[in-house]
Amino acid sequence: MGEPNYPHMSKRFYLTTAIDYVNGQPHLGHAYEKIITDVIARARRSLGEEVFFLTGLDEHGQKVEQAAVAQGKTARAYCDELAQTWRAFTAKLNLTNNDFVRTTEPRHREIVQAGLSKVNASGQVYKKIYRGFYSTKEETFLTEKDRRSDGTFDPSYGNVVELEEENYFFKLRDHQSWLIDYIEKNPAFVRPDYRRNEVLGFLKNNVLEDLCISRPVSRLSWGIPLPFDPNYVTYVWFDALVNYISIPAAHGDPVVRSSLNLQPLNPDPQLSLWPADLHVIGKDILKFHAVYWPIMLKAMGLPMPRQILVHGWWQKDGQKMSKSTGNVVDPVAVIDEWGLDAFRFYVLRELDIGPDGNWTDAGFRARYSAELANGLGNLVNRSLSMLKRYRNGVVPARSNELASDAGKVIESTRAALEQNELQAVLQSIWSLITRANQYVDQTAPFKLAKDPAQAKRLDEVLYNLAEICRVLAVLLWPFLPDTSVKIYAQLGLPAVPDKFSMANWGGLAAGQQIGEPAPLFPRKDA
Ligand code: MSP
């Protein structure tokens, strides 16, 4: 098969989330990661890039099989049911994902098998008898090294059983020094830096054990069969990680298809996606993404993803979230009560991407009231209400008094978006909101309105305020899409403010008739 040649295709900015296990309901942690990724996807589109955003579900494995059995269902029926809940959840979060993968789909299975065949054919898989311990909860083999000083295994492993089993292993060890070298030469491969150092520390201080990539069908049937031995299914992580290339392959990606010896897709639309630009994941699954995944890709002859962005974990009230104690944040309940944008705002403003965070209801309310209702909401509402009251809602002639303040924030926003520094973007946008609210207090348009000699000055102030609201709507689009559209509508602008270039000062034309001002974030006095 010759090298495919698709001259019409340009590589898209391709970003992914971890795919969630289907053995429960979505919680704050899942929502957080998907929102981070959605904001980055929207921001890149707004900056003019073509984007492909993938999220989805990890459906195989013993945990899922056991959960299904416990409910008296087949694994497939159980997954199909929960998949509906999770898909509805992506809509609830207003995610702009371009596809949604389920690892039980044939299009995924085909690529997992092609990948396994390739790795096997290149001599990187061997079979051996394994004797040792196994944690079903974590679906992982344990060794003596994993015992604690008192001889027991950490309770997080659940019930640990002793096993003797013949399995297939993937040679990781051969790639260890290559990987250390790769991560050292590519400082942006794992972000933030302390996570990169963690991976390097792990790789330099441990000899990589070869990875067991099979489970006998007799013990686990809910998985993808090994193409070279039907008595086994694939280990869940080998299956799950491959989603990042299986969906590109299903969309005709030439890099993945040719390296796995698959025919080009014709005449289906072909997208150029691989290598991924960004994998967004939580800190607990760093080793899988920064150690196993690069080695799997190398063994399949595929280029490395450009960056793995690692976020921290949320706690609630200083405690680990746990279904059994009821200490969870249910994103759907918060969204129903406070609105989606308030939820999106809080998680991104409260927690930078990297460290761990702590959700408190009081903290959520405080930000809602100070930053959303009194900050952004009040600015937009009073600016547009005054324009309505004093000028019948007709935008006066252009004035540039706040143009340079806006310009600085536009530039710092662009720079921070390019670095995926989402919390910094919100801080910078809120500095403009504060500046504009001070401007209202300093210029006191309600006083100017009483003095006919100040009519021109009032025009200037009203223009600057309305234009700042418009600029804010554009800058906020990736974060608070509903609010951003509402601000545009209240300005009487029918467009969706989804292009970053629309933020340039002066977009609001004199004579424009604005719409109806209405509170963006109703105050909730409890
Ligand atoms: N199925 C695997 C991922 C496979 S990716 C090829 C998995 N699923 S998960 O449902 O347990 O977790 C999905 C994502 O949610 C992970 O990135 C994880 O870090 C994140 N979070 C789960 N709980 C979290 C918090 N409490 N806080 C923040 N993120 C958390 O792992």
pTM over 0.85: yes
Determine whether 453 is exposed, middle or buried from the number of CB atoms within 10 Å of its CB (0-12, 13-18, 19+).
exposed
For ligand 1, whether the C-beta of 390 sits within 6 Å is: no
Hey, whose CA ends up nearest to atom 19 of ligand 1?
A: 282
Minimum-distance ligand 1 atom for the alpha carbon of 293: 6
How many A from CA of 182 to the centre of ligand 1?
26
Query: Which residue's alpha carbon is at the smallest distance from atom 29 of ligand 1?
Result: 29
Residue 151 to residues 142, 146, 147, 148, 158: CA-CA distances in angstroms?
13, 9, 5, 5, 15
- Residue 369, judged by CB atoms within 10 A of its CB (0-12, 13-18, 19+), counts as middle
Decide: 469 and 487 in contact? Cβ < 8 Å: yes
What is the best residue among 15, 16, 21, 137 to mutate for testing ligand 1's pocket, by most ligand atoms within 8 Å of CB? 21
State residue 3's pLDDT score: 43
How many CB atoms are closer than 10 A to CB 391?
18
Q: How many angstroms separate the CA atoms of 511 and 358, rounded? A: 48
- How far away, in angstroms, is 390 Cα from ligand 1 center? 52
C-alpha of residue 51 to centroid of ligand 1, in Å: 23
How far from 493 is each of 386, 453, 490, CA to CA, in Å? 18, 31, 7
C-beta of 56 in contact with ligand 1 (< 6 A): no
Q: State whether the beta carbon of 244 lies less than 6 angstroms from ligand 1.
A: no
List, for the chain, all residue ranges whose pLDDT scores fall below the cut of 50.
1-4, 7
Specify the pLDDT at position 4: 47
Number of H helices, E strands in the chain: 20, 17
